[in-house]
Structure 1
Amino acid sequence: MSNSPDVLFLVLDSLRKDRVSTYDHDRETTPTLSTLATYATTYENAFTPAPWTLPSHASMFTGSFPSEHGVTNGFSDRMSRLEPSRSTLAEELAAAGYRTAGFSNNPWVGQLSGLDRGFEEFVEWDLEISSSADDGIHTRRDERHSRFHSVLGKAARQPAFLLKRRFFTDSLVDRTKRWLARRADDDEPTFTFLNLMEAHSPYFPPKQAFADLGLEVPNPIEPRVLNTKLLAYVMGKADLDPETRERIMEYYDASARYQDSKVEELFGLLQTEGLFDETLVIVCADHGKTLGDYPRDEHPPHYLRDINLNVPLWIKRPGQREGERIGEPFELVSLFDVVRDGDPPAGTHTCETAIAEDFVPHAGRTTPDEITRWRVAADREYKYARNDAGEEHLYDRSADARQSSPDPDRLESYGESLSKRVRRFGSERSDAADDGSATDREIDADVEAQLKDLGYM
């Protein structure tokens, strides 16, 4: 690496761009990120490589698309894990002399998928310390939590839960702050990754977050009832009536507001330690989240909507003090190169057309007989979608509306653009779940239960 600044890579899991105040949401859900935008680069058309957590993180960690790295689907009987031959961002940075730490709120991102590779410190969603090279990072309480992590995982399950997600979020943020403070005076640069899931269902935001937004504060029973209805919707067992959906979006906004307060803590720690100015800070969502916006059985699948693919992204370069907005498309896959570059010039790594892939279904207990792959090519005006059967669709992005009779020449042009990009992928693993190269791995019962609660299974 030509430049070796400290790096803070913060993924706000499932944070929808349209619910972020920086992107003109009418509620002040993210005041900390709005402040960040005043001296960072805000991307208007950042696209995730995949509309759900596992392949999206694998792409950001490897700089490759799902059909290249092969982590496309997650099933309990044949879990797609990252191949050992493909190095991760943390591994490359560690080899370049970085101290590395990861704190993940999502079960998919960690030892389950192999995305913990390269981190000398790694804390899993249930507070298991899966990697540790420094005895001073974790308190005795942390070590007890790690020892009894399976008990904590069970206590967090629906419907009879003892712990709300905030317990895990608070712990992961506190440990991240402790790691950053301990490394503040080190000569070696640091790479710190953190995944937070407050924008991912189920939603249990604190009462103060509702009050901050001027929303009705829920009684003790409402969160459980509302999240039960939401899980039934996510699993395709029930629809959301307009009143319920409106209240869910209020919970979503309150969760985003609470999460933003935790981001403020992280930034405050960096500023207190005198680290913020020269740190490369990346904040993004790995994907959005459809909450009754579109029919779940629509065709093409609702996962291809901008609400899932077009995500919020901020990059603050070392020494950057003036905010800017960039409208050209940007692929989250390129964050791999942004971090390796260390201090990339403003506006680099953008592209004319952003690519995304979706392998449906995403996850389940058993591998389905058939997996359908969709690919998307999007610029500032249109979005082109095509599946492996050759079915084509064109969307006007101004309203994310599928054109019933698209212009044949425009359809052909976008199709050729997509094919040209895909040809540059090189050797790809388009059917990783069935090609025999994936490693068999049984998902622990506690992890599978958590994935069920999150709506993956």
Structure 2
Amino acid sequence: MDVVWLLVDSLSFSTTSFASDGPDTMPELKTLADEHAVTFTNAYVPGPLSPSSHASMFTGELPSAVGMHEAYPYFDQNITTITERMAETHNTSLFSANIWLFQGLERGFETKVNFSGPDLPYPLATNPEDYFDAGAVPELYTIWRFLRSDGKPIRSLLNYAAYRRQSDVDKAHRHVSRINDAIRKTRAETSGDDYVFANYMDIHPPLSASEEALERFASDIPEVELPIDVSPERHIKNAEKSYDVEAMERLYRAAIWDFDRALAPLVRDLVLDDVFVVVTSDHGIWNRNTAYEDSRLHVPLLVFAPDEKSRTITQTVNLRSLPRTIDQWVNDESEFNGVSLLDVESNQMSVTEIIHHSNDVYERTGRVDVTKSNHHDRELQRDIVLIQNGARVDYVSGEWTSSGKASTVSRLRERGEEILSQPVLMGDRELTYDDVVRERLEELGYI
């Protein structure tokens, strides 16, 4: 049986059509889910950002036990991943525009394609992004330097032609169409069962959207005032940003609507072909003052399982149970932690761990940052959020806060104290990034 796991980076539950009071940003996927999916309305992430959330979702372990989190964004532990489990019986493919998936989590994938750069016919020839701004008219001297730079002028010219064509395509589909095509091609060309993990970054800034989407979600904002193709200023408080935060959120909703129209046809084809499909996110919207807000931790979760009746599950769950869910469905049994989400009948205890080095970004903004170099001499800040059936317990900066039913709060607090008594696993790898990765980090607002 084929398994395709589609992860939409930075998608908050509250900004989708699946929320009862949410905007109508995903009408096509919502219609498809109503017909075929098990829809979870109270699903939470195991970590606040990509490194911790992905690592936990791949292993079924808490970030502190995986060893990959915001304080050490690299996976190098001897822990079995769902990819390695699926590799025993499936062809495994990773298609991602998220660079954090190539920091150790690509282990076990036979095919690995990084979609964070332009789609070039000759990757070994000169990359036009190193010389040109996609939106600017190039100078003749720049073109001459570009063609002479590596001794492959014909191939470099063909790369440039492809790059210019891409810049003229609706940027709302800059990654999704390429990744969708890769999924379709892989399933058509491989024999045997496929396990595919795809990570889309189309709704993570820098953002753009079609004219139709902007008309729907930002018609009262002049296009020149929308922060199109602007990197998120993560290191600055919302009130101090160079762009209007409300305008960015409108653009975000428009981008989701465009993305829905591009993704839903692929999902429908997969479902009609009896593929086990998961659609979810690693965390919610980035444009908030802290990593602890519900809009960061509460995400959509759809599971399309052959022969499973469509239904809505309102019980609390955590994405850390996805490895067990997939493994149990495919192999009838699993050694991954958690529960099979398709068998959930009661509220589960959701745990989100926030492990990071407190730095000037956190001190200024309250936002968790990802460590970009080794800081083993810097004290860790370890926070935790536990949620179950409307009750919530937070441990942030050494202080406990809670809300909800007293008996549930007591259980959550007890579990939180138990987790905090356990050590945090970290590797000792020297964290270094090449120029391409560092440039991508800067574009995404991490640097």
TM-score by length of 2: 0.78
CA-atom RMSD in angstroms: 3.3
Are the equivalent residues in 2 in contact too, given 1:326–1:347 (CA < 8 A)?
Answer: no
Deviation at 1:314, TM superposition (A): 0.8
1:72 pairs with one of 69, 74, 78: 69
| Helix, strand or coil at the partner of 1:333 | helix
1:86 corresponds to: 79
1:370 corresponds to: 379
Alignment of 1:18-417 (within 5 A): 18-38=14-34, 39-73=36-70, 80-95=73-88, 97-110=89-102, 113-126=103-116, 144=122, 146-147=123-124, 151-152=128-129, 163=167, 166-183=173-190, 186=191, 188-211=192-215, 213=216, 215-216=218-219, 221-223=224-226, 225=227, 228=230, 231-232=232-233, 234-236=234-236, 239=239, 244-270=244-270, 275=273, 278-292=274-288, 296=289, 302-320=290-308, 322-342=309-329, 346-348=342-344, 351-361=347-357, 362-368=369-375, 369-387=378-396, 389=398, 391-395=399-403, 412-417=410-415
Letter of the structure 1 residue corresponding to residue 315 of structure 2: E
Superposed CA deviations along residues 172-212 of structure 1, whole A, max 9, x for unmatched, are: 222122112324xx3x221111111122112112223324x
Moved more, 338-347 or 146-155: 146-155
2:424 corresponds to: 430
Are the equivalent residues in 1 in contact too, given 2:58–2:81 (CA < 8 A)?
Answer: yes
Are the equivalent residues in 1 in contact too, given 2:51–2:73 (CA < 8 A)?
Answer: no
Letter of the structure 2 residue corresponding to residue 310 of structure 1: H
Deviation at 1:365, TM superposition (A): 4.0
Find the aligned partners of 1:440 and 1:158 in 2 and give their Cα distance.
37
Find the aligned partners of 1:87 and 1:157 in 2 and give their Cα distance.
41
Moved more, 339-348 or 46-55: 339-348
Deviation at 1:323, TM superposition (A): 2.1
Moved more, 193-202 or 49-58: 193-202
| Helix, strand or coil at the partner of 1:109 | helix
Structure 1 unmatched runs, 5+: 129-140, 297-301, 397-405
Letter of the structure 2 residue corresponding to residue 88 of structure 1: T
2:143 corresponds to: none
| Helix, strand or coil at the partner of 1:419 | helix
Are the equivalent residues in 2 in contact too, given 1:226–1:244 (CA < 8 A)?
Answer: no
Structure 2 unmatched runs, 5+: 138-162, 331-339, 358-368
Deviation at 1:358, TM superposition (A): 0.4
| Helix, strand or coil at the partner of 2:198 | strand
TM-score by length of 1: 0.76
Superposed CA deviations along residues 243-282 of structure 1, whole A, max 9, x for unmatched, are: 92332222111110111122123124436xx51xx22111
Find the aligned partners of 1:15 and 1:199 in 2 and give their Cα distance.
7
Letter of the structure 2 residue corresponding to residue 189 of structure 1: D
Find the aligned partners of 2:30 and 2:131 in 1 and give their Cα distance.
36
Change (3 A) 1:345 1:20: closer
Are the equivalent residues in 2 in contact too, given 1:81–1:438 (CA < 8 A)?
Answer: no
Are the equivalent residues in 2 in contact too, given 1:334–1:349 (CA < 8 A)?
Answer: no
Are the equivalent residues in 2 in contact too, given 1:91–1:117 (CA < 8 A)?
Answer: yes
Change (3 A) 1:429 1:451: farther
Change (3 A) 1:231 1:387: closer
| Helix, strand or coil at the partner of 2:249 | helix
Superposed CA deviations along residues 392-412 of structure 1, whole A, max 9, x for unmatched, are: 11145xxxxxxxxx97x8754
Deviation at 1:351, TM superposition (A): 4.8
Letter of the structure 2 residue corresponding to residue 15 of structure 1: L
Change (3 A) 1:209 1:226: closer
2:334 corresponds to: none
Deviation at 1:221, TM superposition (A): 4.7
Find the aligned partners of 1:59 and 1:47 in 2 and give their Cα distance.
12
Find the aligned partners of 1:350 and 1:50 in 2 and give their Cα distance.
22
Superposed CA deviations along residues 28-77 of structure 1, whole A, max 9, x for unmatched, are: 21122202321211112111000111110111111111000110126xxx
Find the aligned partners of 1:116 and 1:153 in 2 and give their Cα distance.
26
2:333 corresponds to: none
Moved more, 98-107 or 361-370: 361-370
1:418 matched to 2:416? The reply is yes
| Helix, strand or coil at the partner of 1:446 | helix
Find the aligned partners of 2:120 and 2:414 in 1 and give their Cα distance.
53
Letter of the structure 2 residue corresponding to residue 71 of structure 1: M
Aligned residues: 394
Find the aligned partners of 1:13 and 1:198 in 2 and give their Cα distance.
8
Change (3 A) 1:448 1:21: same
Are the equivalent residues in 2 in contact too, given 1:40–1:315 (CA < 8 A)?
Answer: yes
Find the aligned partners of 2:136 and 2:45 in 1 and give their Cα distance.
32
Deviation at 1:422, TM superposition (A): 6.3
Deviation at 1:118, TM superposition (A): 1.3
Letter of the structure 2 residue corresponding to residue 92 of structure 1: R
